[in-house]
Chains A and B, each alone.
Chain A
């Protein structure tokens, strides 16, 4: 079974631009969560989607948004990029959106903002 895939793997943008990252979950998984990893803050929860609905959102500004499609694929968008948005963005999928469901992570998208 294919794992979680994320595209692109690497991205370089400049301040003020916007970016869209994509995540394809494991086949059959309906829940997708996004996390931001930075050296100073560790892994921080961004949001969680289940059946095309956002069920949970972390403490990030409104510049960070996401969506989920009917095939469970998910995208996240960051508008008006800032230098501090440089990070590894990780997507995780699970079968359902239960606290005891194991989440499987993709390899991440490394975003660099110049």
Chain B
């Protein structure tokens, strides 16, 4: 039962353009959402998070949008840079589950110079 899904295994964009990564979830108990970036041979690095009481959170070039009614969140990267090329994971947690994170399968983002 995949409770967090990232339907696009890969995404390719041009440097300077916007990258939009999408994530859907099914468990209505999830109330905190995170995005992690992962380079090969390294652990995931925290990027940005959003609580279910908000619908948008910004941090520099990264913005996360949450649509609770659609159980959908997205990560926008503007402008995209070649160094952003990595695998991006969406993750979710619920107050009732401590710090347990449920991850999506990941999306490989490639930013072309």
Contact surface of A with B, Cβ cutoff 8 Å: 4, 31, 33, 35, 42-45, 48, 50, 55-56, 58, 90, 92, 94, 96-108
Bound: A51/B4 CA distance, A: 29
Known: A100-B32, A100-B51, A107-B41. A43 touches B99 (CB 8 A): no
Name the residue of chain B whose CB is nearest to the CB of A93.
Answer: B99
Q: Are B49 and A102 in contact (CB under 8 A)?
A: yes
| Number of A-B pairs, beta carbon distance below 8 Å | 73
User: Taking A42-B105, A43-B89, A43-B103 as contacts, is the C-beta distance between A97 and B98 under 8 angstroms?
Assistant: yes
How many B residues have CB within 8 A of the partner chain? 27
User: In the bound complex, do residue A105 and residue B100 qualify as a contact, i.e. CB atoms below 8 Å apart?
Assistant: no
Known A-B contacts A42-B104, A99-B31; the reply to A90 vs B44 at CB < 8 A is: yes
Interface residues of B (CB under 8 A from A): 31-32, 34, 36, 41-46, 49, 51, 89, 91, 93-95, 97-106
Chain A contact residues, majority secondary structure = strand
